[in-house]
Structure 1
Amino acid sequence: MDVNLIVAENFKAIRENKKLSLDQVAKLTGVSKSMLGQIERGEVNPTIAVVWKIANGLKISFTSLLDHVKNDVELVKKEEISPLVEDEGKFINYPVFHFDESRKFEQYIIEIKPGGSIKSEPHLMGTEEFVTAFDGEVVINVAGRDFKLSDKDSIHFRSDTTHSYRNDGDQPVTLHMTIYYN
């Protein structure tokens, strides 16, 4: 299923479950009512930043908006994932395992091409990220401090503060990321 339609269905269901109007969601998230309407109808491909604004404003996990039917065993093939693309295709986010209330985390594979970057707004209070780099190097800035990761280096940090990822190198970097909601 197309990621836009999944986001549309989930956003509408969450909004209706919380008994919120589009106006109320706009005030909570900082995303315009017209953009929210387009997202809910599946007419636009929302950016990662917009999905995070909606998730934070509604106090839900990022992947609550990307969730799909769960099975006892879930095999995820990369080619079957609808990636979220930012920075003119230089930052690609593959949501692998979506948030589940019973396990409190979600996992991603991130690919950042040379020169690619993304700035992330603070996540929900108490949220933590666990990141491991593979191939290449990445600079992760957490609350104004830069941390450089090379192949198989890992970092853990509270992500309820501003943080960013950038690839200053000349080769792509792949990251494995787990976001834990405390």
Structure 2
Amino acid sequence: MENIQKIIAKNLKMIRKTRGISLDRAAEATGVSKAMLSQIERGESNPTVTTLWKIATGLQVSFSSIIREEPSEVVFVSMQDVDPVIENNGEYRVYSIFPFDPRKKFEIYIIELDPGCCHVSDPHNEGIEEYITVMSGCLKMKINSETFLVNAGSSIRFTANKPHTYSNPGADIVRYQLVMYYP
């Protein structure tokens, strides 16, 4: 498996070049500085999840299209072989298990939150849905002004075009599977 920074660099550059978008236009569309975008494209920066979401939203592509490797017919994924995208000082880790495939319109992640970690997600594009199944721990979800406690073995689904927060109020790591559906 290729280094995640190299994958992001190659994919971002390809997306931008394919669409004929300059770094200046990409910076304007995403709210990420031209210098940062350039560093990411050269593989010199390890962007945060928030930065990658800004890029994906601004360029109107899926999150995983920025972090995916080339597909093959049969894919076996082991967590030990996946480099996570890390945020919140390493307390929030996103493992891209099955990246976005436009024919299927979804992507699958495994996410880990350390005790006390709180990750705020900006609203996604209209119609995107999140399907979460907690595998271990207790995930506290705040969607708009409603709060939900999702225990291991339970699931939650919501339209993700509103502010939402993932947090771990417990003493153990929370691990959950996230399926992102793109209409």
TM-score bin (small chain): over 0.9
Offset, 1:91: 1.0
2:168 corresponding residue in structure 1 = 167
1:116 corresponding residue in structure 2 = 117
TM-score in terms of structure 2 length: 0.97
Question: SS of the residue aligned with 2:101?
Answer: coil
5+ long unaligned stretches in structure 2: none
1:14 corresponding residue in structure 2 = 15
Offset, 1:36: 0.5
1:26 corresponding residue in structure 2 = 27
Matching of residue 135 in structure 1 with residue 139 in structure 2: no
Supply the distance in 1 between the matched residues of 2:81 and 2:60 (Cα, whole angstroms).
Answer: 28
1:142-181 equivalence runs, <5 A: 142-181=143-182
5+ long unaligned stretches in structure 1: none
Question: SS of the residue aligned with 1:74?
Answer: coil
Offset, 1:50: 0.2
1:88 corresponding residue in structure 2 = 89
1:94-109 equivalence runs, <5 A: 94-109=95-110
Matching of residue 65 in structure 1 with residue 70 in structure 2: no
Identical amino acids, percent of aligned pairs: 40
Supply the distance in 2 between the matched residues of 1:117 and 1:181 (Cα, whole angstroms).
Answer: 25
- CA deviation map 1:120-164 (0-9, x unaligned): 111121000000112211111111211111111100000111111
Computed over aligned residues only, the root mean square deviation of the Cα atoms, in angstroms, reads 0.7
Offset, 1:77: 1.0
